[in-house]
Structure 1
């Protein structure tokens, strides 16, 4: 049994149905490009070789490919078989299994791919397809079987007869090949189809004619093989990934009061016993400690960190800011570029005015401070430990309020020195 594994990720397509100038594989899913999910899956397999084939918009996509992954550019977009040929040129001397993945299929689980590869190797197959049974198979290629139910080919929908279009078993596009068998047939593929392209799927019928054994592994959850070709399918994929992310947090001890209205990006860290209320949006890179309360209707943007036992509530936006333990901002407001100490109370309507029209500036608030309702802090500002601001106070830029001092008014004036 040949144990070597090479993985080829096809990421060359235009994605014309997305109607976007952004390459399809860079469209974000829960805070990261869809391509990243597929690369994570590929890397988890620990292949000897990992190759990404780029094409349309390759200059934009290339910076998103991590170091250590081979990149080849398909100069003319004339089909998946041609794309795989480009990758094969980098695999001279390699023998073993060649797995073909697609960068627009981000829902595929590592466990599913390992099952496919394991079945392929254990049965010494020429090719193993990942298939699914769909009640509505429109848009997918159909698996063709002979009189003995053996896989004998794949027909793309636009080339299928009316009879073939009734077949429910679809090709996901994900195929594990014996690379030596693939080399025997891939150069014999011809663009004999309505699109005039070189289809990798035509390799299946050529292998069958050479009497090699081909089989399928059926995926349990058809959503895993959802290919994203339109904004509608993008939205469906977002919902699936969002559900996975939410379930992962709940399994780790986080309470989501209503998971269906809680929007958490990939890469967010949340401590146990934190409660997230409905209609909360939490972006990638946010860190939330243990025992916190967030929302409802809160938005935590990149660069936000809540330490243990913080409370942030209704209609608040926080970005590039840190709240240390037991601090509260329970009502509507905006906190940007702020460093907020321990046990600080941020009153309703507080705004840190961090942007002066040219640059962003920092606001620093010391431990045990009390910021009155509707306070505006025009950064850069420093509020000392134990200090207080009166309701409706406007603290102008470059002001330093001393420890335990009280300021009030517009502009803020010292009422009591600490």
Structure 2
């Protein structure tokens, strides 16, 4: 849409959240609350300008959204919504279109709702329009007063409303469309002669009416969309609405979700068609999953990229890793950050991988730690193998070539290199490089002591006699 600028109000602390973190940075489906109105402005209605009014923890908010094409206006003192919008006017001096005012703590509004609201505002040739909702319990919200023809006459805040006005169930959502020239002039006329002692943005309605300008109100079809987040209870409710929307979107795109009630997928996660998600899996952050994958129960995948035809067995944890086509992970596997699992490799149960590359077709089937390492193709890592990457001061790398066989219970003390086609015997501690094609073995020679059991029995008898004395 052309001729739209957005102001997003996000200066409040959010006292009822009972948190050290400012309200608009609390996460909801993997993104800060404030991300949702910002996305509506930038991607939804494609506003010419997006201005976020900040106050509490302003630096933290600006740092979080520094890479986006938005401006920040600082409201040092929180003196009301009118005062907040006034701080953003500096960015609109040469703008003469429509200003859309959104709330930073209202994350459920759909872009279709905003487009309908803006279209109706323009069709009515209004100077100001407010998005409203009809609710069962209007306590705490400003009430909408209309004239006999249905036009917006006034918005009365809860504390300033009469008993009769408090019976009205149509409420102000805090979302407005206003013509920029009137907004700039009208804000100068707002006073704070009210119960709160604040500059109410809603007073613009009366100012417009006195000037003979038209004001309108547009009722949202679903009041849930304009639900504000004031407490952690509200946050949980809104999170559930967005979670179910996300799962529905995935299922309609060809993803099978066995039990939507117990499947958790963040907003920014992408999942390819014909992938199967079992109950209680958590896909978080910027995770991308390809087609025809299987994610078994109780798995957690964060900020990772998975190719096609991958199987993640139950109870696996994957963080900031990359897994290529046809690989199998788990059960009970742990991929820590900067791990890369190549095509058709396998990481089995109780294997931990950290900052390592596991080559094509290589496998560590069980009970191993692989850290700060590079494994070539078709490598076998035996059970109980440990890559000793830390000397107490620094981390060191282990490099293993192609087609290497590492027996069980091996320790590789980095830095060390193992050449192609070599083998390492079970129980070996490797402290030196292993040449290509060689067998490395460092065991103590086995010694069998005959009649050992008789010695043990004799020792037991002596021990029993001592106890009896």
Q: With structure 2 as the length reference, what TM-score do the two structures score?
A: 0.81
- How do 1:14-413 and structure 2 match up within 5 A? 14-43=13-42, 44-63=44-63, 64-66=65-67, 68-302=69-303, 304-336=304-336, 337-352=338-353, 354=354, 362-377=355-370, 379-397=371-389, 398-412=397-411
Q: Shift of the alpha carbon at 1:230?
A: 1.6
Q: Secondary structure at the match of 2:78?
A: coil
Q: Secondary structure at the match of 1:192?
A: coil
Over the aligned positions, Cα root-mean-square deviation in angstroms equals 2.2
Q: Secondary structure at the match of 1:348?
A: strand
- In structure 2, which of residues 408, 418, 425 is the aligned counterpart of residue 415 of structure 1? 425
- How do 1:2-17 and structure 2 match up within 5 A? 4-17=3-16
Would you say the 8 A contact 2:295–2:311 is kept in 1?
yes
CA spacing shift, 1:75–1:327, aligned 2, 3 Å: same
* Offset from partner CA, 1:137-161 (integer Å, 9 cap, x none): 2332211223444321112223333
Q: Secondary structure at the match of 1:325?
A: coil
Q: Return the structure number with greater relative CO, CA threshold 8 A, min gap 6.
A: 1
Q: Secondary structure at the match of 2:154?
A: strand
Q: Shift of the alpha carbon at 1:66?
A: 4.2
CA–CA separation in structure 2 for the residues paired with 1:107 and 1:208: 31
Long gaps (5+) in structure 1: 355-361
Q: Shift of the alpha carbon at 1:174?
A: 0.4
CA–CA separation in structure 2 for the residues paired with 1:385 and 1:96: 61
CA–CA separation in structure 1 for the residues paired with 2:400 and 2:184: 74
Q: Secondary structure at the match of 1:87?
A: helix
Would you say the 8 A contact 1:265–1:284 is kept in 2?
yes
Q: Shift of the alpha carbon at 1:277?
A: 1.0
Q: Secondary structure at the match of 2:251?
A: helix
CA–CA separation in structure 1 for the residues paired with 2:341 and 2:34: 37
Long gaps (5+) in structure 2: 390-396, 412-422, 427-436, 439-469
Q: Secondary structure at the match of 1:347?
A: strand
Q: Shift of the alpha carbon at 1:341?
A: 1.7
* Offset from partner CA, 1:332-357 (integer Å, 9 cap, x none): 121113221221222211122x3xxx
CA spacing shift, 1:309–1:58, aligned 2, 3 Å: same
CA spacing shift, 1:236–1:364, aligned 2, 3 Å: same
CA–CA separation in structure 2 for the residues paired with 1:85 and 1:146: 28
Q: Secondary structure at the match of 1:350?
A: strand
Q: Secondary structure at the match of 1:373?
A: strand
* Offset from partner CA, 1:48-70 (integer Å, 9 cap, x none): 33322222221211221445423
Q: For structure 1, which segment, 304-313 or 199-208, has the greater mean C-alpha deviation from structure 2 after superposition?
A: 199-208
Would you say the 8 A contact 2:384–2:410 is kept in 1?
no
CA spacing shift, 1:113–1:411, aligned 2, 3 Å: same
- Computing the radius of gyration from Cα coordinates, the structure with the larger value is 2
Q: Shift of the alpha carbon at 1:4?
A: 3.0
Would you say the 8 A contact 1:396–1:411 is kept in 2?
no
Q: With structure 1 as the length reference, what TM-score do the two structures score?
A: 0.90
Q: For structure 1, which segment, 71-80 or 209-218, has the greater mean C-alpha deviation from structure 2 after superposition?
A: 209-218
CA–CA separation in structure 2 for the residues paired with 1:50 and 1:407: 58
CA–CA separation in structure 2 for the residues paired with 1:396 and 1:407: 14
CA spacing shift, 1:380–1:48, aligned 2, 3 Å: closer
* Offset from partner CA, 1:192-215 (integer Å, 9 cap, x none): 222210110121133234443222
